[in-house]
A and B are shown apart, each in its own frame.
Chain A
Amino acid sequence: MIPEIGHFALLLCLPIAIFLASIPLLGAILGRPLWMRLGPLLALGQWLFLLLAFICLTHSFLTDDFTVKLVAMHSNSALPWYFKLSAVWGNHEGSLLLWVFILASWTLAVAYASQSLPLDMRARVLAVLGMISIGFLLFIIFTSNPFERLLLNPVADGNDLNPLLQDFGLIIHPPMLYIGYVGFSVAFAFAIAALMTGNLDAAWARWSRPWTNIAWAFLTIGIALGSWWAYYELGWGGWWFWDPVENASFMPWLAGTALIHSLAATEKRGVFRSWTVLLAILAFSLSLLGTFLVRSGILVSVHAFASDPTRGLFILAFLVLVIGGSLLLYAVKAPAIRSNAKFGLLSRENFLLVNNILLAIALSVVLLGTLFPLASSALNLGSYSVGPPYFNAMFVPLSLPMIVLMGIAPYISWKRSNKISAAIPKWLIAAFVALLLAGLATLSLSNQYQQDFNWLAFITLVVSLWLITSTALHMLSKAKHQQGLLTGFKRLSVSYWAMVIAHTGIAVAAIGIGLTSVYEQQKDVRMLLGDDISVSGYRYQLTAINTFEGPNFSGTRGDITVFDGDTVITVLQPEKRFYYAARNVMTEAAIDPGLTRDLYVALGEELEEGAWAVRVHVKPFVRCIWLGALMMAFGGFLAVTDKRYRSKRMLNA
C-alpha cells in the first residue's frame, strides 16, 4: 500500500510541475500578478508530494518490503537500519528521486526566500526550475520507477546493498553532492530568466550570488567527502583518480568557481555580462552532463550506476532540450554589445578575467580528457585511456600560476590600481617568507621521509605559503585601525573574511596534495604473527589475527601495533570481510589520522602458512586536502551571511 501511495504522490508531482513551469511564466509574460503569485504555492505542493514519495520509499526499505523491486535488489533483512536508510539513494532509481526532491527543495527555497525579488523575475525563475523538474519527473516515472513491485516473483530476502556502499560515506556524500549539483540550477534559472527578459544588468548577478555560493559550498563538501570516502573505503589509499565519474563532479565545481567570481565582476562593474550568463548555463549543464555520463552506461567506472542505454537515450534527449535550448537562447538573446566599463592590466576585472580563463582551460582539460576515450571509440579511432598521468601533468602548470595570482589579487582594485607601490614591499616579504619556510620544510621532509630534495614539493610549498602570507599581510594592513588591530579585524566585512578563509583553504589543500603525492610511502609485505616492517620511521608489527561475526558478514581482523621507536602510537585494526548475501569480499582499511601524516594499513589476501599480505602506507599531510576543502566551503557559506544579503532593500538594480 505504502509504495503505491509513494508512486501516486510521484505521479501527482508531474501535473504540479507542469503548472509550475507554465502558469507563473504566462503570468510574467501577460502581466497577471495572481498567476505569478501561484508560483510559491505550486513549489510547495511539488515539494510536499515529493517528500511523501521519499518517505514512502524509505519506509519500504526500513520495513524490508521485498515486494518492492528496489528493496529486493539493494537491501537485506540483516542490513543495519542506517544502511537501509542510505540504501534508498544507493541505487539509480532512488538517487534520482533524491535528485528531484532536492531540486524541489531548492525551488521551494527560492520561492520563499526571495521576497525582495521583483514578482515577474521570481515567477520566471520558478518556471524554469519547474521545467527542469518536469524532465526529471518524466524520466523517473517512465524509465526509473523506484516503486516498481515484484509481486509475481516475490523473493524471501534481498540481494543486500553493495558492501562497498555499506558505509557512513554513503549516508552523507550523495546528499551533499546533489545539493551542490542541483543548486546550480538556481543560478541557471536566474540566467535563463534574465535572458528571457533581455534584462542582463547587474541585478540578476546580485540575486544569483548567494544561491550560487551556497550550492558551490555544498558541492565542495560533496566532492571532499567523496575523496575522503574513497580514501578510507576502497582500501588502497588513493583519494582522487580522475575517474570519469569523479571528473563529472569536478567540472561543475570548476565552472561554479569561475561563476562565483564572474558574478562578482558583473555585479560590481557590469562587465563580462555575456560570459557570466554562459557560465551559469555551463555550470548546471555540466551537472546534467554528469548525470548523463554516470547513468547512461557509456562509461566504465567503479562509481557508475548500472544502467542501460535506453535510459541513456532519454537523458540525452533531456540534455539536448535543456542544454541545447538554453545555449540557443543564449546565442540569440545574450548581449552582443559589450559594456562600457573599461579596465586596465592591474585591475580586479582583469585578474578575474584571467582567473576565469585559467579555470575555463582547466575545465576544458578535464572535459577533453574525460570525453576523448568515448569520442575515439565512437568514431572508431581506437581505444584509449586517459588517466592520472595526463590530468596531473596538465593540472599542475595550470593551478600553480593561479595560486600565485590569487596572492596578488586582493591588493588589486577595480578599474585601475593606483596604490600598487604600497603593495610591492608586502609581496616581497611574502615571497621571502614563503621561500624560506618552504625551503626549510622541504629539507626537513626530505630528511624525515628519506628522499632527495624534491623540487615539486618545494615549488608547491612556496606557492601555497606565498598565498597564505600575502593574504594575511593584506588582511593585517586592511585591519589597521586607530583603536587597535582587534577593532580593525571586527570591522572587516564578512565577505572579506570569507574570501580570506576560502583562498587560504586552497593553499592548505594544495599543500596537502603536493606533499602527499611526493612523500607518500607504501610497502606490500608478507606478515606472520609477530613480524614487523618499518615505513618512514614508523614500525608496524602484526600482533594478532582474529575472526569475528558482523551483522551481515564474517570477518578477519588483524591487530597491527605501530611503534615510534619504543613507544606504541596506536593499534590499527584492518579487516577482511566476507558479505553473505552479496558473496563479496571487502577490505576495510585501518587509519591513524593526523594533520601531518596518516598511518594507513590494509589486509591483502591470506597467504600460505597463515601469513597475510599487508599493505602499509604513510601518507604525509593528506588530511590537509580535506581540511582545505572544508575551509573553502566554510568561506562559501560565510559569504552569504554578509549584511547586504540580509537587507530587504534589494528591489532595484
Chain B
Amino acid sequence: MMLRAFLVTAIFLLSLSGFTSAADSSGLANQDSANELKVFSDPDMRQRYYGLIAELRCPKCQNQNLADSDAPIATDLRNELYLLINDNYSDADILEFMASRYGEFVLYSPPVNSVTAVLWIIPAGLGLLGFAIVAFILWRNQEDDEASNV
C-alpha cells in the first residue's frame, strides 16, 4: 500500500513537471519604466550573458569574475560579450574568443587538456580508492569473523 502511494505520487509529480513552463511575464515587464543596461531580444541570450560573465575571470582584478568587477577592462569585456552574443556566437565560441586573447587564465571553468586532466582524474581516483578501502575493510572483517567462528 505504501509502495503504491509512493508510485502514484512520483508519477503525479513527474507529469506535473512536464506541464509547468515559465509563466508569461511580458505583461509586467511592459509596465517598467527603467530599462536594463543590456537589452537582449531573447531571454535565453540574457541568461547566457549572465552565465558567461560569471564564468569569465577579469584579467586584471584580484580574483573576480566579469560580473562583479568595476575595472575598466571588465566593463569593456562585458560590452564585447554583449556584442558577441548578439552576433550569434555560441558559448564555446565566446570562451575561445576570450581565451585566445587573454589566455586560458580567464576561464574559471578550466579547459580539459593533458595538464588539467589531473583535476578530474585525482578525485575520480580517490573515489575509487575510497570505495576499495571500504570494500576491503568490510571483506576483511567478514573473513576474520568467519575465521574466528570456525
A residues apposed to B, CB below 8 Å: 234, 236, 238, 241, 243-244, 300-302, 304, 342-345, 350, 353-354, 357-358, 360-361, 364-365, 368-369, 372, 376, 381-390, 394, 425, 428-429, 431-432, 435-436, 439, 442-443, 446-447, 450-453, 455, 458, 522-528, 530-534, 537, 542, 605, 613-614
Question: Which of A302, A342, A361 has a CB less than 8 Å from the CB of B144?
Answer: A342
CA distance A390 to B70 in the complex (A): 24
User: Is the CB–CB distance between A386 and B123 below 8 Å?
Assistant: no
Return chain A residues, CB-CB under 8 Å to B116: 372, 376, 384
Distance between A245 CB and nearest chain B CB, rounded to angstroms: 9
9 residue pairs bridging A and B, Cβ less than 8 Å apart? A300-B63, A342-B144, A344-B142, A372-B110, A384-B116, A390-B109, A428-B2, A453-B20, A524-B37
Question: Which of A381, A443, A447 has a CB less than 8 Å from the CB of B115?
Answer: A381
Question: Which of A301, A369, A537 has a CB less than 8 Å from the CB of B119?
Answer: A369
In the A-B complex, the 4 residue pairs with the smallest Cβ-Cβ separation, listed nearest first, are: A387-B108, A389-B109, A531-B34, A357-B130
Return chain A residues, CB-CB under 8 Å to B36: 523-526, 533
Provide the B5-44 mask, 1 if CB < 8 A to any CB of A, else 0: 1100110110011001111010011011111111000000
Return chain B residues, CB-CB under 8 Å to A241: 63
Query: For residue B104, which residue of chain A has the nearest CB?
Result: A384
Question: Which of A390, A436, A533 has a CB less than 8 Å from the CB of B110?
Answer: A390
Question: Which of B10, B21, B115, B137 has a CB less than 8 Å from the CB of A435?
Answer: B10
User: Is the CB–CB distance between A361 and B130 below 8 Å?
Assistant: yes
Question: Which of A372, A387, A455, A537 has a CB less than 8 Å from the CB of B118?
Answer: A372
User: Is the CB–CB distance between A390 and B68 below 8 Å?
Assistant: no
With A236-B68, A300-B62 known as contacts, the answer to whether A534 contacts B29 (CB < 8 A) is: yes
Return chain A residues, CB-CB under 8 Å to B32: 532-534
B residues apposed to A, CB below 8 Å: 2, 5-6, 9-10, 12-13, 16-17, 20-23, 25, 28-29, 31-38, 50, 54-55, 57, 61-65, 67-68, 70, 103-111, 115-116, 118-119, 122-123, 126-127, 130, 133-134, 137-138, 141-142, 144-145
Question: Which of A345, A394, A439, A524 has a CB less than 8 Å from the CB of B123?
Answer: A394
Distance between B12 CB and nearest chain A CB, rounded to angstroms: 8
CA distance A385 to B57 in the complex (A): 8
User: Is the CB–CB distance between A342 and B130 below 8 Å?
Assistant: no
With A435-B13, A524-B38 known as contacts, the answer to whether A534 contacts B28 (CB < 8 A) is: yes
CA distance A619 to B29 in the complex (A): 19
CA distance A542 to B6 in the complex (A): 50
With A385-B57, A533-B34 known as contacts, the answer to whether A376 contacts B115 (CB < 8 A) is: yes
User: Is the CB–CB distance between A532 and B34 below 8 Å?
Assistant: yes
Return chain B residues, CB-CB under 8 Å to A384: 104-105, 107, 110-111, 115-116
A-side interface mostly: mixed
**Which of A343, A376, A385, A450 gathers most chain B CB within 10 Å?**
A385
User: Is the CB–CB distance between B110 and A360 below 8 Å?
Assistant: no
Counting residue pairs across A and B whose Cβ atoms lie within 8 Å, the total is 169
CA distance A29 to B122 in the complex (A): 43
User: Is the CB–CB distance between B141 and A342 below 8 Å?
Assistant: yes
Distance between A271 CB and nearest chain B CB, rounded to angstroms: 10
With A343-B141, A358-B130 known as contacts, the answer to whether A383 contacts B37 (CB < 8 A) is: no
CA distance A613 to B137 in the complex (A): 60
Distance between B48 CB and nearest chain A CB, rounded to angstroms: 14
CA distance A385 to B102 in the complex (A): 12
User: Is the CB–CB distance between B138 and A443 below 8 Å?
Assistant: no
CA distance A268 to B9 in the complex (A): 42
CA distance A532 to B31 in the complex (A): 9
User: Is the CB–CB distance between B105 and A383 below 8 Å?
Assistant: yes
User: Is the CB–CB distance between A439 and B68 below 8 Å?
Assistant: no
Return chain A residues, CB-CB under 8 Å to B6: 428, 431-432, 435
Query: For residue A241, which residue of chain B has the nearest CB?
Result: B63
Question: Which of B12, B103, B122 has a CB less than 8 Å from the CB of A383?
Answer: B103
Return chain A residues, CB-CB under 8 Å to B144: 342
CA distance A525 to B29 in the complex (A): 13
Return chain A residues, CB-CB under 8 Å to B61: 302
CA distance A128 to B27 in the complex (A): 68
Return chain A residues, CB-CB under 8 Å to B104: 382-385
With A361-B127, A451-B22, A453-B20 known as contacts, the answer to whether A385 contacts B110 (CB < 8 A) is: yes
CA distance A526 to B39 in the complex (A): 11
**Which of B2, B126, B133 gathers most chain A CB within 10 Å?**
B126
User: Is the CB–CB distance between A357 and B134 below 8 Å?
Assistant: yes
Question: Which of A301, A385, A386 has a CB less than 8 Å from the CB of B106?
Answer: A385
Return chain A residues, CB-CB under 8 Å to B119: 368-369, 372, 386, 390
CA distance A342 to B116 in the complex (A): 41
Distance between B124 CB and nearest chain A CB, rounded to angstroms: 10
User: Is the CB–CB distance between B134 and A527 below 8 Å?
Assistant: no
User: Is the CB–CB distance between A439 and B127 below 8 Å?
Assistant: no
Return chain A residues, CB-CB under 8 Å to B2: 425, 428-429, 432
Distance between B148 CB and nearest chain A CB, rounded to angstroms: 9
Distance between A434 CB and nearest chain B CB, rounded to angstroms: 11
Question: Which of B21, B29, B31, B126 has a CB less than 8 Å from the CB of A361?
Answer: B126
CA distance A244 to B104 in the complex (A): 18
Query: For residue A534, which residue of chain B has the nearest CB?
Result: B28
Return chain B residues, CB-CB under 8 Å to A368: 118-119, 122-123
Query: For residue A342, which residue of chain B has the nearest CB?
Result: B141
Distance between B110 CB and nearest chain A CB, rounded to angstroms: 5
Return chain B residues, CB-CB under 8 Å to A522: 50
With A238-B68, A342-B145, A394-B123 known as contacts, the answer to whether A385 contacts B105 (CB < 8 A) is: yes
CA distance A64 to B32 in the complex (A): 51
Query: For residue A242, which residue of chain B has the nearest CB?
Result: B108
Return chain B residues, CB-CB under 8 Å to A431: 6
User: Is the CB–CB distance between B109 and A452 below 8 Å?
Assistant: no
Query: For residue A235, which residue of chain B has the nearest CB?
Result: B68
Return chain B residues, CB-CB under 8 Å to A452: 20-22
User: Is the CB–CB distance between A364 and B122 below 8 Å?
Assistant: yes
Query: For residue B68, which residue of chain A has the nearest CB?
Result: A236
Query: For residue A387, which residue of chain B has the nearest CB?
Result: B108
User: Is the CB–CB distance between B20 and A388 below 8 Å?
Assistant: no
User: Is the CB–CB distance between B134 and A354 below 8 Å?
Assistant: yes
CA distance A621 to B129 in the complex (A): 37
Question: Which of B31, B105, B130 has a CB less than 8 Å from the CB of A534?
Answer: B31
Query: For residue B108, which residue of chain A has the nearest CB?
Result: A387
User: Is the CB–CB distance between A301 and B9 below 8 Å?
Assistant: no
Return chain A residues, CB-CB under 8 Å to B29: 534
Return chain B residues, CB-CB under 8 Å to A342: 141, 144-145
Return chain B residues, CB-CB under 8 Å to A358: 130
User: Is the CB–CB distance between B68 and A353 below 8 Å?
Assistant: no
Distance between A518 CB and nearest chain B CB, rounded to angstroms: 12
